[in-house]
Amino acid sequence: MTERPTALVTGASRGVGAAIARALGPTHHVILGGRDEKSLAEVAAELPDARPWPVELTRVTEADVAGVERLDVLVHSAGITRLGRIADLPADAWRRMMEVNVVAVAELTRLLLPALRRARGHVVCVNSGSGQRANPDWSAYAASKFALKAFADALRLEERDLRVTTVYPGRTATDMQHEVRKYEGGPFEPEKYLRPESVARAVLAVLNAGADAHLTELTLRPAAGPVN
């Protein structure tokens, strides 16, 4: 058994999730959730006290979380996007985004509530600027992120002993942003976007706000470049 507080981070194989895991590594035992076993193992090898947790988040069961008795931090960083106009997006695209971005988050949280309650833990939902406003071609993704906000707000009210924070990063230099820019027909310009490490530092600031503080929402935007 470790004496460190325990954190579980989804989407931890790359991008923002991996950056958050690395930021938590010096102080936490980190459980690295994701599908890419090789990448998870590589991130785990960098950290002093971490273990990979290869999992398909849309099919998590009680057996998958059976070993987690106490959980101090749960960070939901995994997510997918598919852009397109409403006229062109089939129902399957909507269902898939809701399944990954909302339903999987709700189910994993539900399964881990006993462990979170024991620790009076902190749940962080890494949302998006699309969870604050909807733009053309972003309808399904924005709908899933608005729903994620609603989930976090309801969880905060229902579980009074937990802290629940929604973080809204703007455009971030990740693989997802590569795909977004490809769809938009523009270049990938990382100097105009947030770095994953900047989002990770914001999550740390949320977690370290102090025992008397409950920071419920935090919005980040790139200092240069697009607002959304």
Residues involved in catalysis:
141
Contact call for residues 198 and 222 (beta carbons, < 8 A): no
> Which residue carries 């707000």 as its tokens?
153
User: Helix 15-24 vs helix 37-46: angle between axes, to the nearest 10 degrees?
Assistant: 30
Q: What separation in angstroms does the CA of 30 have from each of 52, 67, 71, 93, 201?
A: 9, 13, 10, 32, 16
- Structure tokens that stand for 45 in this block: 């090898």
Tell me the C-alpha distance between 54 and 75, whole Å: 16
